[in-house]
Amino acid sequence: MGDVLSTNSGSALDHATDAELIEERDPTVFTVLAERARGHPPAHLWGAALFGAADAIAVLIAYPSAWWIASAAMTLCAFGIWGLADGALIDDPYRVPHRGSRVAARAIRAGAVGLGVLATLGAVFGLIGASLGGLIH
């Protein structure tokens, strides 16, 4: 494709290059969460991971039938874990990078994504089930 789109509408897209169009994609939930996690200091991410896990355990112990609320708390835990693992992948000029630690951080980050997606699905479908529980006999 060329540098200019072939329309006569006079819009900003008329003079946009392909690279500019690619860079201006709509954000996804994953990119928004990644930006949020990267904007928080490690102490906040540790707090999210620990309090999310503690809340999930407390809810499961106190109210086992409210497992979907515990699942929602696990999404917070996964967010914190992902943010910490992602932060470990940032190149630090004061620290010698180890290949094993980078591989481990990538694996932990991938596991946190899986945990977060499953926990979110559990929370959403659990909420739907709890909401419709009185309507379905």
Q: What is the pLDDT of residues 3-27, one digit of tens each?
A: 444 445 555 555 555 555 556 678 8
Tell me the whole-structure pTM to 2 decimals: 0.72
Rounded CA-CA distance 17/23 in Å is 10
Range in 43-47, 66-70, 113-117, 132-136 with the lowest mean pLDDT: 132-136
Is 118 or 10 the better-scoring residue by pLDDT?
118
Query: For 34-81, where are the E strands, in sequence order?
Result: none
Q: How far is CA 19 from the centre of its chain?
A: 26
pLDDT of residue 48: 95
User: CB–CB of 49/77 below 8 Å?
Assistant: yes
